[in-house]
Structure 1
Amino acid sequence: MAICMTFRAAGSKVHLLINKSSIPWYIKMAAPTSVRFLHEKAYVNGKWADAASGKTFDVVNPSNGKKIGVVPDMDAADTQNAIQFAQTAFESWKETTAKERSVILRKWSELCIENKDELAKILTLENGKPLAEATGEVMYGTSFMEWFAEEARRVYGDIIPSPAKTKKILVLKQPIGVAGMITPWNFPNAMITRKACAAIAAGCTVVLKPAEDTPYSALALCELAEKAGLPPGVLNIVTCSRANAGVVGKMLCENPMVKKISFTGSTVVGKILLQQSASTVKKVSLELGGNAPFIVFDSADLDQAVNGTMNSKFRCSGQTCVCANRILVQEGIYPKYIQKLAEVMTRDLKVGDGFESGTTQGPLINHNAVEKVDGHVQDAIQKGAKLVLGGQKKGGNFYAPTLLQDVTLDMKCAKEEIFGPIAAVHKFKTEEEVIKIANTTTAGLAGYFFSQNISQIWRMAEKLEYGLIGVNEGLFSMTEAPFGGWKESGLGSEGSKYGLNEYLEIKYVCLGGM
């Protein structure tokens, strides 16, 4: 049987006649015939821009390995140019009222909601996650626009009682300046809005480098921001390949016009950016890697714990920084938990292209990710873990959802962040033992535990050394709540009422002679 597929890119239309029976399962797809808001240029000072060198790089669909299009491969000079435009725009943007900024953010959010289906298509096309999950991310990302549209009008200062009758103490909050941002590929919409909307609401301007794997979601947001009335230079997107990521990041960190750096990504890169930012003593926010413990006590509700595991572990095919990494189950409930989790994984998880109906597990982002995940599985099996489900490459960038039992702490999947669809289950005996296991890591981003014992719940919530704790809950990310890690998992918080403070400076004003 032959099928005709139509694609649009860069203003052209291409028809392909393909023999359906010859297509491997992992590249059969129901991709959209056309995609709006897909731009092949960067966005600087309110204009669609090329790299000064004219160079571009390819963006690839991880589901089928096919080229989606190209974007400019910008370098340090291009980035410096964008920073200068952002600095110029800051001089006027900081003078706008909170209400003016609020109105623009609100309009931006409305436009994103109106076009959520198109934004989700772009996200699935470049990231691979299931379309329903992509739509959920777009709505989550839009919630930050709405939230910071409201919080922009609540940047309150203080009048502090003075110890001297002739002096008054005032505290003002003012925008910090140009904010440099670097965002990851796993949430190419929401990680941008969580950062950029806070900065814009505070009166700052933004120069942002999206991940080289997923630049189109960032550029689509720019078109809608422009339609919402965001002035030129307030939001600038600098695209670059992995080869230029280092020089672009260094420019953002070391340029004195940039007053703030916000980064989400690996701990290794975060440390480099922190060192580079020290040269100009920048304010820095970092959301780095995790190694989340997911603890199930004997007193837990089994169905609730398994449902929480599914939500935490397999969202985005396990490619989130808050995924359950070390699943620690108390010995009394251990056999039932393994059996139940295997049943639910078999029933509920379907691997496939993100545009295919019913898909819950899209591809990993690239071939290297597949090799890393498979390496973790093979290492665990060689060291004595039992493979219950999965453990196979599925062709292309796909990997079967995997369940390992009898995992020990010397295995790679226990010591390193997995970032893939592997449920690696350990057995423990006592509360004291599991607290020690959970906290013996340099990471401190997310932790989870399931218990019906109220005293134990309070003890665990206080003793776990993590910035984010889920108690009988596998999904805790909400716009209204602060998101940030402890230890080597980061600095600062995003979202919530605290997120705006990352882009504000505090100024003490003393009025004398009163």
Structure 2
Amino acid sequence: MTTTALPTADDLQAQARSALERCGVDLDLLTGEQTSHSPINGETLANLSWTSADEVDACVARARDAFAIWRDTPAPARGALVRRLGALLMEHKADIATLVSLEVGKITSEALGEVQEMIDVCDFAVGLSRQLYGRTMPSERPGHRLMETWHPLGVVGVISAFNFPVAVWSWNTAIALVCGDPVVWKPSETAPLSALACNAVLQQAIAEAAAPANLSQVVIGGADVGQRLVDHQDVALISATGSTRMGQAVGQRVAARFGRCLLELGGNNAAIVTPSADLDLTVRGIVFAAAGTAGQRCTTMRRVIVHESVLDDLAKRLTSVYERLPIGDPTTDGTLVGPLIGGSAYQAMTAALGQAQDEGGKVLVGGERQLADAASDAYYVQPAVVQMPQQTQIVTRETFAPVLYLIPYTDLDEALSLNNAVPQGLSSSIFTEDQAEAERFMSAAGSDCGLVNVNIGTSGAEIGGAFGGEKETGGGRESGSDAWRTYMRRATNTVNYSGELPLAQGVDFSV
């Protein structure tokens, strides 16, 4: 089911300007030679100037100056700033969500959910500001105390991708700020307006808290700007979200200067569907994870490893739901599938479907372009389900589009092997009513992913848990749990109050 009417360029530009103005963005910034397009209609959304690579150096220098003040600010006071940021994000939730929809094509409920995720991580970080715990360990020497303390790390560079244009920034920024670190943010080139709005909201919070003005800065530009940030000796941590290829380049460059990296890269996420699975629940979990955000999440479900006894039933159910998915303008009520980010994503999807058929796959539903007559430069597609005879070459590669492969299995050992037999290791699920199967899936010999779920899909992680994956996903962890340690440096402290000088390990060095 496809809606046919799309908004005009004037309509979208007016919405964007109104949202930006309410967030406190100077509209004079919307001048320049670089054009931003909306995937909703493929037309110009705004023009603006990009930051030059040379300007990155000045931003980092200002951040270093802010760090000298912020690292000595008590952590609970740093948390007060983040508390105010969360309140302002709540106030501007609808405006930022509007910009997210206009720039990357998310349906309204998903865009609002992304901003809610920002608010939630601020709540988490505020509590964390009073819990940056170290440890005290027993010393082997009498009259000594052995402990560890955690200190602010330095300037954090954040490079974010288009599919979560604001949430990923907030995961890093809220935690970095309570840990005592300033942030320099290089957003996706496709989502500069969302970044300007978020930065303006944070700048208001900074001013109200009388915090250093340059705790947060945005550098908008292309690969040269990102590379300058990656290579800068004064950037202590680079948190980068994107493709595996990008992460390989970033990781090597940061390692060459002995900096730190937090990488969130590709995903090729699978769900195992067992004979005991509740198929009604399973279908709901699969459809959101596979078709939500038009298949453009790093946690999007791309493979369903389904027991041969329920394969035909599940395939029929999924095909029926996919045929009825409402596709079109993401800002319209009732739409569930918005546009792809651009033509290259559509081409990648078409190529993947062609290769899947060459490798023996059968397209059960989807793959066709929609609304091409209404907007030639906008790329709407019907999400596709492809039944494969086995896990072939194309299935092991991530295609950042709504293509879902169904792969049969005969026993759980085979299913676990298929789940793990891809280079990526981000998210995974099992649908089962058998407790033993669930426990095996979560065990050390089960899924090798960073996110391992039971009876839910692969998308929709909560901020309380650490988010990230293994293998070519990069190994990074953001958001909850103890991910805060990435943004701090550890010191091991030994205090001698004995009046003597015994050496460790019984060493005798008397003089």
Q: TM-score, normalised by structure 2?
A: 0.89
- Which of 97, 104, 112 does residue 127 from structure 1 map onto? 104
Aligned residues of 1:60 and 1:66 also touching (Cα < 8 A): yes
Match of 1:480 among 432, 441, 464: 464
The counterpart of 2:332, out of the listed 338, 353, 356, is 356
| Worse overlay, 215-224 or 379-388 | 379-388
Letter in 2 for 1:239: I
Residue number in structure 2 paired with 1:6: none
- 2:123 matches 1:146: yes
User: What's 1:11 paired with?
Assistant: none
Q: 2:362 is matched with which residue? A: 386
Paired position in structure 2 for 1:61: 38
Deviation of 1:140 after TM superposition, in Å, equals: 1.2
Q: CA deviation at 1:470?
A: 1.4
Cα gap change, 1:308 to 1:416, in 2 (>3 Å): same
Do residues 399 (structure 1) and 375 (structure 2) align?
no
State the match for 1:215 in structure 2: 192
Name the structure 2 match of 1:4: none
User: Does the 8 Å contact 1:249/1:273 carry over to 2?
Assistant: no
- Hey, what's the Cα distance between the residues in 1 that align with 2:13 and 2:472? 41
User: SS at 1:490's partner residue?
Assistant: coil
Cα distance, 1:95 vs structure 2: 1.2
State yes or no: 1:330 paired with 2:315: no
* Distance in 1, Cα, partners of 2:67 & 2:240: 21
Aligned to 1:195: 172
Q: Distance in 2 between matches of 1:72 and 1:32?
A: 17
- The CA distance in 1 between the partners of 2:67 and 2:485, in whole Å, is 18
Q: Which runs of 5+ in 2 are unaligned?
A: 373-377, 499-511
* 1:255 equivalent in alignment to 2:232: yes
Matches within 5 A, 1:266-345: 266-345=243-322
Aligned to 2:78: 101
Displacement, 1:250? Answer: 2.5
2:416 equivalent to 1:431: no
- Give the letter for the 1:275 counterpart: Q
Deviations 1:133-175 (A, max 9, x none): 1111111122111111111111122222221123222311001
TM-superposed CA distance for 1:443, in Å, is 0.9
SS in 2 for 1:309: helix
Return the letter of the residue paired with 1:121: T
1:89 deviates by 0.6
Deviations along 1:335-360, one digit per CA (max 9) or x if unpaired, are: 1101111222233x211011122111
- Letter aligned with residue 214 of structure 2: G
| 1:412-466 deviation per Cα after TM superposition (whole angstroms, max 9, x unaligned) | 2x02112212222111111121122111122111111111111111112121111
Matched, 1:421 2:398: no
Partner residue, 2:158: 181
Confirm or deny that 1:509 pairs with 2:493.
Answer: yes
Distance in 2 of aligned mates of 1:421 and 1:452: 28
CA RMSD of superposed structures (Å): 2.3
CA-to-partner distance for each residue in 1:189-228, whole Å, 9 max, x for gaps? 1111011111111000111100000121121111111221
**Which residue of structure 2 aligns with residue 375 of structure 1?**
351
Read off the aligned partner of 1:470 and give its amino acid letter.
N
Looking at structure 2, the residues matched to 377 and 38 of structure 1 have their Cα atoms a distance apart, in angstroms, of: 39
In the alignment, the residues of structure 2 paired with residue 66 and residue 49 of structure 1 have an alpha-carbon distance, to the nearest angstrom, of: 21
Residue of structure 2 equivalent to 1:465: 448
How far, CA to CA, are the matches of 1:104 and 1:343 in structure 2? 49
CA distance in 2, matches of 1:93, 1:37: 31
Structure 2 residue identity aligned to 1:306: V
Partner Cα distance (2:383, 2:343) in 1: 16
How many residue pairs get matched?
479
Question: For residues 180 and 69 of structure 1, what CA distance do their matches in structure 2 show?
Answer: 25
Partner of 1:497: 481
Aligned equivalent of 2:508 = none
Instruction: Give identity over the alignment, percent.
Output: 28
Residues 20 and 95 of structure 2 are in contact (CA less than 8 Å); yes or no, is this contact kept in structure 1? Answer: no
Partners of 1:173 and 1:506 within 8 A in 2:
yes
| Distance (whole Å) between structure 1 residues aligned to residue 408 and residue 5 of structure 2 | 37
**Could you say what secondary structure the match of 1:404 adopts?**
strand
Give secondary structure in 2 for the equivalent of 1:154. Answer: coil
Q: Distance in 1 between matches of 2:183 and 2:28?
A: 16
Q: Which residue of 2 aligns with 1:3?
A: none
Tell me, in whole angstroms, the C-alpha distance in 2 between the residues paired with 1:265 and 1:49.
30
For 1:25 and 1:416, the matched residues in 2 are separated by 34
Segments of structure 1 that go 5 or more residues without pairing to the other structure are: 1-22
Report 1:7-22 matches (<5 A): none
Query: What's the counterpart of residue 87 of structure 1?
Result: 64
How has the CA–CA distance of structure 1 residues 210 and 367 changed in structure 2, closer, same or farther, with 3 Å as cutoff?
same
1:79 match: secondary structure: helix
Q: 1:78 to 1:49 in 2, by over 3 A?
A: farther
Aligned AA (1:253): V
Judge conservation of contact 1:130–1:354 (CA < 8 Å) in 2: yes
The alpha carbon displacement at 1:252 in A equals 1.8
Partner of residue 506, structure 2: none
Q: Please give the secondary structure, in 2, of the residue aligned with 1:286.
A: strand
Letter in 1 for 2:495: L
Between 400-409 and 290-299, the greater mean CA deviation after superposition:
400-409
C-alpha contact (below 8 Å) 1:142/1:190 kept by paired residues: no
CA distance in 1, matches of 2:260, 2:138: 29
- Conservation of the 8 A alpha-carbon contact between 2:150 and 2:490: yes
- Structure 1 partner of 2:432: 451
TM-score by length of 1: 0.89
Query: Within 2, Cα distance between the matches of 1:328 and 1:71?
Result: 46
| Secondary structure in 2 matching 1:362 | coil
Counterpart Cα distance in 2 of 1:422 and 1:251: 35
